[in-house]
Structure 1
Amino acid sequence: MQAADGWLVRVRPPLGRMTAVQAHLLADVAEQDGNGQISLTNRGNVQLRGFTLEAAQAFPQRMIAAGLGQPDPEAERRLALQVSPLAGIDPACATETVLCAEALRNGLIDHPELSALPDKFGFCVDGGGFFPTGSLRADIMLQAMESPVPTEAGWRVVCGSSSSAPQIVQEAVQAALALAEAFVKRGETQRPLREPSVGERLFAETGLECVSATVAEMHGINQPTPRAGHLTGSAYAAVAPLGRLTAATLRSCAEVAQEGDGLLRMTPWSGLVLSGLKKTPEISGMITQSDDARLRVYACIGAPGCAQSAGDVGRDALALAPFLPDKADLHVSGCRKGCAHPGAATVTLVARGEGYGVVQHGKAGDEPIRILPKTEDVRAFLQALPKGDV
């Protein structure tokens, strides 16, 4: 799509993974055809910015040739699928997680009628483990269930406020696809993630038995805060501050991946998991320490990348991070839409002509309690927050 700083292009690495070779290619393309700026999204996508229209139009074929895209653009659009980032490397993550994800991905490719789903309609395969079940969020979720007998059915399908009984992989995948088809058939306009009651209607439409989903199943209450540094085994997470990195930084991440198993696994918190390493990597431009305050800060692309933004909110967010109380989080938004963090934060700052509107324990669209004209005023406000105000 076109942005204020040029055309933006996006890649969905298959199953949330790309090889070091593919990462090197993306870094090269970002420098050669764009402005060198790259974003890692909370949906596990990679975005490159600052392209000309001609370069943006040539981009898909380069990605298809590299194994990072589908020849059919409609099939590519349907693949909004997140997978547990530690699948296959965390012994506590369900062993069938990758198998389940591959089956669902193939099913999405083979169901052209699902192109009618809304652009942001998504799926996830959540195998639990180090990141417990409920860590991923999507409109239709396949979640692993603990079972004392590995061969027994162990996957439930959660859609909005409803959940299926445990099923084997093949049945769970077919149920997920049937629910998506029912969404299209009924002409629903509200996604299950936003309007949970939709799930009950979709289960009824398909004739599938269901029970009420718990809050954890429905809303991802276990969703972890961004994690950096050592995770489990030989797996480490490197997080891009505000989800942003340069082509040079991505190239450095690829070089570190080559020291391990050669893969970069996308996380839902704008990071990468690198496995097969012996110690925490040091990567310039990435967060690799779990106590870094920038892990608790969110900001949209802001000016000059977005014409709707009233300021360079990313710059201000990073400058304010050191003054944030422990355990508190900060959202700095360029406008009231709050694209970077739809949920509530300890403090939300909304850029406006006369400074920043301050919202406490709320969202960007909420009414501010005060207006602070300068970043120095915001810094003083953060420093004056009670330590327990999180």
Structure 2
Amino acid sequence: MYGGFSQPEVKGWCPGLFAPMEAADGWLVRVRPMLGRLEAAQAFLLAEVAQQQGNGRIGLTNRASLQLRGFDADSARRFPEIAVAAGLGLSDAGMERRQTMLVSPLAGDDPACAPDTVACAESLRHALVCAEELSALPGKFGFAVDGGGLYAPGLLRADIAVRSMGAGLWSVVCGQMCGPQVTYAVAVGQAVALAHAFVASHQSIRPQRDPKVGTELFRLTGLEGQALAVSATPAQAEGARVGSLGHGLFALAVPMGSMTATMLQDCARVAVTEGDGILRLTPWHTIVFGGLGQLPEVEGMVADPHSPLLRIWACSGVSACAQAAGRTEELARSLAPLLPDAVCLHVSGCRKGCAHPAAADYTLVAGAQGYGLVRNGGASGYVQHLFADEHAVYKAFQTFKHEGAVDAGL
């Protein structure tokens, strides 16, 4: 292991509407639109707030949330009132925190998505909002309602998911375990029971981080289940599709999840003037428009399904994060043209790997001595090569373009 790549100090928390977080570029605030759907009027409002009170930078996270950056402390404290008034959150902080979950972005639009997905999501949301004891769950603990369809079952990653099995049947999924096929009402009850078991067991590791935790929670609740097949968890890159999705749906990608307030305004304008007025946010850094007749054009967004930017993850880097040791987004953009087909790249400012906790073909990690290279692993993996600076990284990827391996000749 190379020096300068020790595990980072864990600071802060998972930001939420009532829990803004201080970063290197100011305070960041987060909103989680209900069911992942943002009305155009809400998008215009958020863009205006981002420009006037923040630094104009907006992140679309891997939980389909929006992060507005660069606020001062007073503006960050006032933001929840603005969001709640716009229908972007609940006034009760505990209820707002507990209703966090991912839902299939095309529920109600994609005929192949389970028709009762929205009803299932509303049922789970109500159960979570009413379960005050679940406020003890870790901030990053997540739920999902996965109706399948165009976005294959298993693409929505969460600690506890309620997943459609077809024919009106659902199963609860936790870690590596999948419960029996039941009605969605029963599956929702099982999901809440598993969450209560997590709290009661005083676990410190979430099921998404360690799948074996799910097995233990199944045991504690007395729930029968079976281990998930590996094929049941498709690669996250499969969700980052752009272009026509059929049924009047078109998707554009936010490069590396980082956009400007102007880009959000332009998306809202397209939704109002050409579509149904709704922006469907996905956890794969894409925005889906409905009711359109053709692929929209929004400057700065990715519309080419072959763009390497769809296979690159990067955090905000040293310009916005105190733990980051180097530039990330800029480096990732410079490397994009050198990335071969089907190869995924993650550029992380530190060992936490916030932008992409999973493994990638190539992961670059910024450290005190430069950039470390991890092959077929995540940001916390074994660093096999060390590059002194961005120029050295770029030179190595040029070799990759011609010879097929970043480490060729090293």
The answer, yes or no, to whether TM exceeds 0.5 is: yes
Q: Deviations over 1:211-263 (max 9, x none)?
A: 3332344x455762511211222111111111011111100000111121111
Pairing partner for 1:265 from 272, 276, 280: 280
Return the TM-score normalized by structure 2: 0.89
Displacement after TM superposition at 1:389 (Å): 6.2
Assess if the C-alpha contact under 8 Å between 1:134 and 1:223 holds in 2: no
- Answer yes or no: is 1:275 the counterpart of 2:295: no
- Answer yes or no: is 1:6 the counterpart of 2:26: yes
Counterpart in 1 of 2:47? 27
Unaligned runs of 5+ in 1: 148-152
Distance 2:190 2:390 in 1: 51
Displacement after TM superposition at 1:358 (Å): 2.0
Q: Give the 5 Å matches for 1:251-262.
A: 251-258=265-272, 259-262=274-277
Counterpart in 1 of 2:129? 109
Unaligned runs of 5+ in 2: 1-20
Judge which range, 206-215 or 105-114, deviates more: 206-215
Displacement after TM superposition at 1:373 (Å): 2.6
Pairing partner for 2:387 from 358, 367, 372: 372
Displacement after TM superposition at 1:208 (Å): 2.7
Q: Secondary structure at the match of 2:394?
A: helix
Displacement after TM superposition at 1:370 (Å): 2.4
Distance 1:363 1:206 in 2: 32
Distance 1:121 1:387 in 2: 42
Q: Secondary structure at the match of 2:374?
A: strand
Q: Secondary structure at the match of 2:238?
A: coil
Return the TM-score normalized by structure 1: 0.94
Displacement after TM superposition at 1:347 (Å): 1.7
Assess if the C-alpha contact under 8 Å between 1:325 and 1:383 holds in 2: no
Assess if the C-alpha contact under 8 Å between 1:335 and 1:364 holds in 2: yes
Distance 2:368 2:215 in 1: 44
Assess if the C-alpha contact under 8 Å between 2:60 and 2:257 holds in 1: yes
Counterpart in 2 of 1:150? none
Percent identity between the aligned chains?
A: 50
- Answer yes or no: is 1:323 the counterpart of 2:338: yes
Counterpart in 1 of 2:159? 139
Which amino acid counterpart does residue 158 of structure 2 have in structure 1?
Answer: A
Q: Give the 5 Å matches for 1:303-314.
A: 303-314=318-329
Displacement after TM superposition at 1:306 (Å): 0.6
Distance 1:371 1:213 in 2: 37
Displacement after TM superposition at 1:204 (Å): 2.7
- Answer yes or no: is 1:44 the counterpart of 2:64: yes
Displacement after TM superposition at 1:207 (Å): 2.8
Distance 2:203 2:351 in 1: 26
Q: Give the number of aligned pairs.
A: 384
Q: Deviations over 1:269-288 (max 9, x none)?
A: 11211111111111001111
Assess if the C-alpha contact under 8 Å between 2:37 and 2:278 holds in 1: yes
Q: Deviations over 1:18-54 (max 9, x none)?
A: 1001010100110111011100000011000000111
Counterpart in 1 of 2:114? 94
Displacement after TM superposition at 1:178 (Å): 1.2
Distance 2:22 2:236 in 1: 35
Distance 1:197 1:353 in 2: 34
Pairing partner for 1:77 from 86, 97, 105: 97
Q: CA RMSD in A?
A: 1.8
Distance 2:236 2:355 in 1: 20
Distance 2:140 2:230 in 1: 22
Displacement after TM superposition at 1:371 (Å): 2.2
Q: Secondary structure at the match of 2:337?
A: helix
Assess if the C-alpha contact under 8 Å between 1:234 and 1:278 holds in 2: yes
Distance 1:81 1:387 in 2: 43
Counterpart in 2 of 1:66? 86
Counterpart in 1 of 2:195? 180
Change (3 A) 1:208 1:362: closer
Q: Deviations over 1:104-134 (max 9, x none)?
A: 1111111111100111111111111111111
Distance 2:361 2:321 in 1: 25
Counterpart in 1 of 2:3? none
